[in-house]
Amino acid sequence: MLRIRAKSWLEKDGDFLVGEGRARLLRLVEETGSISEAAKRMGMSYRHAWGTIKEISESAGERVVQSKRGGTGGGCTTLTKTGRDILSAYEEGNSSIQTFLEGGPRHPRVAVDGILITRGKLVAIRRKYPPFKGKMALPGGFVEYGERVEDAVVREFEEETGLKTSVERMLGVYSDPTRDPRGQVISVVFLLKRRGGKLRSGSDAASIELVEPERTEDMAFDHAEIVEGYLSLTD
């Protein structure tokens, strides 16, 4: 199939500021809270990533990242307001271009979340990265292209908790456009059954938490509402 493709970049005063690669680096820094983790996911060295960020800052005339040290969750690097404005301007502009070229509207992303009760406790993770860094959440993540949602939740659950599971049944679909601060994300939630494995925290989880299902008010995203919905079905 033939498709028209185009490259876009953001300029300031006629000078190059960010393109697809630099924008992806900024997005990963914001999502992971770490320059080293962002560099790893892009397959580049920390030195290269830091040099690129320094070049963006120099071109913008202001810092685009800021670091916070200490605290219960350790250090964290996030974008400054300038960094977020630059990333937003590029992503929104690039999205408009791609929408025009493809002749269709933007689409929300699809994610999955899993509920597993073991010995009367809910298996949850403590988020390692923004958004909601340090808060409890249901194990889950984004569906990959060509992947069934049932396979995605089993894969994500094992990656984040070390547990092998199977789908018992679907609990519901959560689609509030404001549920995820990163953009519109629809989550398909499943009740899972444990099949094996050992509890261990994956790369995206600071720790694994076994909590009382009735005590999950302070969870990330709308996960407290999801658990409440699950409990109403089991009463």
Rounded Cα distance between 210 and 4, Å, is 50
Output the domain CATH number for residue 37.
1.10.10.10
DSSP codes of every residue in 38-62: HHHHHT--HHHHHHHHHHHHHHHTS
pLDDT digits (tens, 9 = 90+) for 166-193: 999 999 999 999 999 988 999 999 999 9
- Are residues 96 and 137 both part of a single domain? no
Same domain, 135 and 208: yes
Number of other residues whose CB lies within 10 A of the CB of residue 210 = 13
Report H helices in 126-222.
149-161
Average pLDDT of the segment spanning 74-97 = 88
The Cα–Cα gap between 189 and 138 comes to 10
Give CA–CA dist 121/56, Å, rounded. 47
Q: What local confidence, expressed as pLDDT, does residue 25 receive?
A: 97
User: 195 in a domain, yes or no?
Assistant: yes
Q: Is residue 196 in a domain?
A: yes
Residues 116 and 203 grouped into a single domain: yes
Which amino acid is located at 28 in the chain?
Answer: L
Q: Same structural domain for residues 37 and 148? A: no
CATH of the domain at 147: 3.90.79.10
Domain identity same for 69 and 34: yes
Residue 207 sits in which domain range?
Answer: 109-234
2 domain residue, yes or no:
no
With bands split at pLDDT 50, 70 and 90, how would you rate the model's confidence at 3?
low
Cα-only R_g, the chain? 20
Q: How confident is residue 70, by pLDDT bands cut at 50, 70 and 90? A: low
Q: Total structural domains in the chain?
A: 2
Q: pTM for this one?
A: 0.61
Residue type, 227: V
Residue at a domain's end among 42, 76, 102: 102
Q: Which of 30, 21, 9 is nearest to 183 (CA)?
A: 30
